[in-house]
């Protein structure tokens, strides 16, 4: 497992930054590498830990899930571990990452993107019911990322970190299997602002983003088909509004896809040919 660590000459908190928990997401890993290339231990208070590629098998397979067992690592961090959880390679990896790194950190930030199949509105998120400090850190990430109240999903790394009492943030940027240089720069800026707010480095912390957070969750499709969207990322929609149409291979409409709640469109498919159960949007 590639591990980056920088221990400052002065004491301070320990921040863990993770990327590549899904193997087809690239801005997070690149931003973590860039951050470590810039950090000077002489100017650092506390310890910075980085796992730029947390899921090496999935990374090398350029896949969201691990080729070893077909499992999504980011649904396997349950605490306490579920019975039989150390049975598969991904479950063992989840256990090892959580036990080794979360116990050592005060703050954890998990960087994602939409992956090969999805494109996300950039989001910087925290969990409900935690301390205000996590919200402040997320709102300080920078104006390129929209504030986001992350849904509670058991097994997700940042959610389970939050549940163990850590300040836990999660972020999303773009996707489609590409690396957006603006995303790398925005993530790196956001991480540096977190270091400033935690007192780990001295610099301008930037402004807090006061926009109301995106809430809600993913919406999945029950039907297969070619999806032609009727909305754009970031567009506000009403409950029941048409998001797009699903077509069969002859061009006949199979299904109208409508918003299950009101909010902003925060994700859309990149891989347009959908299967039942695929994520079709994130509205919140
Ligand atoms: Zn992801």
Round to whole Å and give the CA distance between 249 and 280. 19
Grade residue 86 by pLDDT with cuts at 50, 70 and 90: low
- Residues 61-76: pLDDT tens digits? 999 999 999 999 999 9
**CB-proximal residues (5 Å) to ion ligand 1:** 22, 25, 112
Grade residue 85 by pLDDT with cuts at 50, 70 and 90: low
> How far does residue 155's CA lie from ligand 1's centre (Å)?
13
CA 190 to each of CA 16, 48, 185, 273: distance values in angstroms, whole numbers, following the listed order: 14, 14, 8, 34
Round to whole Å and give the CA distance between 78 and 204. 37
CB 126 within 8 A of CB 168: yes
> How far does residue 25's CA lie from ligand 1's centre (Å)?
6
> How far does residue 128's CA lie from ligand 1's centre (Å)?
20
Give the pTM: 0.96
Q: Evaluate if residue 128 carries a pLDDT over 70.
A: yes
Q: How many residues does the chain have?
A: 284
């Amino acid at each position: 497992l590639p591990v980056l660590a920088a221990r400052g000459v002065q004491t301070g908190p320990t921040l863990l930054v993770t990327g590549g928990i899904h193997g087809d997401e690239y801005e997070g890993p690149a931003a973590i590498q860039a951050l470590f290339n810039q950090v000077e231990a002489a100017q650092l208070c506390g310890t910075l830990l980085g796992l730029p590629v947390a899921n090496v098998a999935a990374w090398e397979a350029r896949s969201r899930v691990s080729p070893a067992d077909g499992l999504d690592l980011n649904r396997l961090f349950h605490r306490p571990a579920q019975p039989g959880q150390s049975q598969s390679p991904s479950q063992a990896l989840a256990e090892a990452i959580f036990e080794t790194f979360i116990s050592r950190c005060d703050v954890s930030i998990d960087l994602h993107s939409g992956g090969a199949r999805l494109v996300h509105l950039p989001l910087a998120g925290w969990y409900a019911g935690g301390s205000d400090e996590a919200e402040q850190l997320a709102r300080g990430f920078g104006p390129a990322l929209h504030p986001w109240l992350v849904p509670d999903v058991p097994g997700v790394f940042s959610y389970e970190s939050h549940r163990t009492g850590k300040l836990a943030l999660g972020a999303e940027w773009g996707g489609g299997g590409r690396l957006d240089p603006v995303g790398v720069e925005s993530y790196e800026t956001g991480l540096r602002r977190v270091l400033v707010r935690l007192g780990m480095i001295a610099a301008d912390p930037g402004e807090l983003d006061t926009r109301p957070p995106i809430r809600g969750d993913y919406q999945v499709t029950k039907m297969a088909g070619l999806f032609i969207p009727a909305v754009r990322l970031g567009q506000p929609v009403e409950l029941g509004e048409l998001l797009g149409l699903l077509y069969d291979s002859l061009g006949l409409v199979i299904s109208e896809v409508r918003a299950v709640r009101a909010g902003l469109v925060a994700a859309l498919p990149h891989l347009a040919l959908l299967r039942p159960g695929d994520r079709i949007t994130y509205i919140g």
